[in-house]
Structure 1
Amino acid sequence: MSKETGEHYIWGSNCDGWHLLKQEDLSIIHERMPPGTEEARHYHNKSRQFFFILYGKAIIEINGEIHELNQLEGIEIHPQTPHQILNRTSNDIEFLVISQPTTIGDRILVHEEKL
């Protein structure tokens, strides 16, 4: 399975996602974010996630704490923890998001000030 063969979708401000594994108990998505984009701040009631940066440098805010992740670095996000990923660079970033169980129907938006 690869992004060339995975089910593709568009999210946010022209960001891409490719489902590499799409099951109720486990989801693996390859995502791409163009420069200057960000995900809406949110949390999941049940899903535990692991973000792993394939290319570029990402900012991930987790419960008010800022983490800078470089290529080939990752971070775990526990259920019920507000978070968002941001691309503040001038290049695309690509990363894997591994969720257990799937985040489908398990996303709650958090409305707070922008970082």
Structure 2
Amino acid sequence: MINKISKKNAGHYIWGGSCDGWRLVDEAERSIIHERMPAGMQESRHVHRRSRQFFFVLSGTMNIEIDGTEHILREQEGIDVPADIPHQVFNKSANDLEFLVISQPNTKGDRFPAE
């Protein structure tokens, strides 16, 4: 059965105290998450041993540090993060940041603090 998926019917969770995540696709071999990060928030620096991730900005501006280099992504821009590379997303702007995170395979059980 094929169903339409949106933030309205996707599984929702809160992370970092005030950030939202909606699991649009949650399969063993891939996940697609729509995330909202309020102004001034950041995630902890981490690494995925198996999962490759692609970040795509829907609205706002993303600062993302990948292996020591900071990149700035604006609306409709994305960046690929290979497995085993430390990274961290920041919202240094005054507005909400909304983005997609596409992971292959799924990151469940595959998130570790960066050394």
* TM-score, normalised via structure 1 length: 0.95
Sequence identity, in percent? 54
Structure-2 residue corresponding to 1:64: 68
Residue identity opposite 1:52 in structure 2 = F
Matching residue within 28, 39, 44 for 2:43:
39
Matching residue within 51, 55, 73 for 2:77:
73
CA distance in 1: counterparts of 2:35 and 2:63, whole angstroms = 14
CA distance in 1: counterparts of 2:8 and 2:87, whole angstroms = 28
CA distance in 1: counterparts of 2:114 and 2:26, whole angstroms = 25
**Unpaired runs of at least 5, structure 2:** none
Structure-2 residue corresponding to 1:107: 111
Structure 1 vs Structure 2 CA RMSD: 0.7
CA distance in 1: counterparts of 2:80 and 2:99, whole angstroms = 13
The number of residues matched between the two structures is 111
CA distance in 1: counterparts of 2:54 and 2:8, whole angstroms = 22
8 Å CA contact 1:18–1:31 kept in 2: the answer is yes
Matching residue within 10, 20, 25 for 2:24:
20
How far the C-alpha of 1:75 sits from its partner, in A, is 0.1
CA distance in 2: counterparts of 1:5 and 1:64, whole angstroms = 37
Matching residue within 91, 98, 101 for 1:94:
98
